[in-house]
Structure formats: structure tokens, C-alpha cells
Amino acid sequence: MIGITKIFRFETAHAIHGYAGPCAHIHGHSYELHVCIAGSNSGLGYIEGTGIIFDFKELKTLVNEAVISKLDHKLVLSRKYIADNSTPPGEALLIFDYEPSAENLLIFIQEQITKVLPGHIQLISLRLWETADSYAEWLSS
């Protein structure tokens, strides 16, 4: 199995309802998302044909449409947060049934990407960097 990784960047604001600290307030991050996919070379050694498992441009298009367009320059809040706080209305508000922590954002991202990947390609891992030294990671089981 051979894997490739594409890196994406986007800006999103969120708040964590019930968190005892500054993340309870609306704040933003410059996220960096690493998407690693894999395909099989059928155990034949080198990859036949073009030698490409999956085109980076196609991966960019899929992830931009399935994920980045939904999260970039959006405010992501949980229904609980909205019920307990006044929230400005707007088109840039994305409402989750769960808290939009880095971990839960990663699960959302995994679900969106899995829906659009072709059957011969497997999502191997995701890393969502919230800061320069902190990330959440999803790994295929």
C-alpha cells in the first residue's frame, strides 16, 4: 500500500460549551489539515500505468468541496452553546449537535471525506493542527 498526503489551511472560529477556560468563549484558529490517503499497488512492485495512486489535484478538489468550503471563515457552535448564549445570526454559522472541539471537528472532517472518496482509495489518517504545536489525529482502524 502506498500513501499520499495533501495539506490544507482554513480559518474557523468556535467555542466549547461547558469548558472551564478561555476556549469557552468564541475564538478562532488558523487550522492546518493533513489528509493521508492510500491505494494499493497490487503487490506488483511499481505502480503500473501513470504510476499515480490518486491525483493530488483531484484530492484537493474533493477536500475543498467536502470540507474546506463548509468550515473556512465559519463560526462553528453547538446547539447547547446557542441555547445558553446570545449568538449573532448569519450565513457563516455552522451548528453542530456536539461541541466543536478539534477532536469532534476531525470526526466531522473524516465523515465528509469518506463520503466522496472513490472506492479504491482508503482514508488512512487525518491531522488537524489547531496551533503550531497541538493537533488532533484520526487514524484508520
pLDDT at 91: 74
For the chain, residues with pLDDT lower than 50 are none
Question: In this predicted structure, what is the pLDDT of residue 99?
Answer: 97
The three-state secondary structure class of 108 is helix
38: CATH:
3.30.479.10
| DSSP count for the chain of H helices, then E strands | 4, 6
pLDDT at 45: 74
Residue 42: its pLDDT value, please?
Answer: 64
Q: Supply the pLDDT for residue 88.
A: 67
Continuous H helices in the chain: 56-63, 69-71, 79-84, 102-116
Number of domains in the chain: 1
> What is the C-alpha to C-alpha distance for residues 60 and 66, in angstroms, rounded to an integer?
10
Three-state DSSP class for residue 69: helix
Q: Which domain holds residue 102?
A: 2-139
Q: What is the pLDDT of residue 43?
A: 66
